[in-house]
Amino acid sequence: MKKAKFGSVPPKTQKLADGRYRVYLNVEKSTETNTIKREDSDLEEVEEYDVYLCDEFDMNGEPTYERLIEALIRRRYSVSDELAIMRQRDDKPEEFATYNSFAEECKALARTVFND
């Protein structure tokens, strides 16, 4: 995922020109400062302004809760990887726990987009 900065609250999703969709995740409000030095004096002005920092995630197809979860999981696990982990969940419980924790994180991210 790429980082993005907005001057106002970003949209939850945005359709891109190529037909894909961009989803904005982990939106956090922050304050930045800008120092302006006056040319005619030694005085400096400091202005503060709000920005919104977030992660950009591009996906194929119109985002739904379920599609977003799947796309987020696919960043790390292929379908084959998931099937292998499920098949061996009793033999490799640590690997399953890692996968399951990641899947729950993906679900939590998707809820931030689709549950207002």
pLDDT tens, 20-68?
999 999 999 999 998 888 777 778 888 899 999 999 999 999 999 999 9
Q: Which of 18, 44, 61 is the last residue of a domain?
A: 61
Angstrom distance (rounded) from CA 114 to CA 110: 6
55 and 14 part of one domain: yes
Its domain, for residue 95, covers: 64-116
**pTM for this model (two decimals):** 0.80
Q: Which of 14, 38, 61 is the last residue of a domain?
A: 61
47 and 72 part of one domain: no
Give tens-digit pLDDT for 80-98: 999 999 999 999 999 999 9
54 and 75 part of one domain: no
Ramachandran region, residue 2 (left: φ > 0; alpha: ψ -120 to 50; beta: rest):
beta
User: Among candidates 25, 113, 99, 31, which has minimal Cα distance to 64?
Assistant: 113
Specify the number of domains making up the chain.
Answer: 2
C-alpha radius of gyration, the chain, whole number: 20
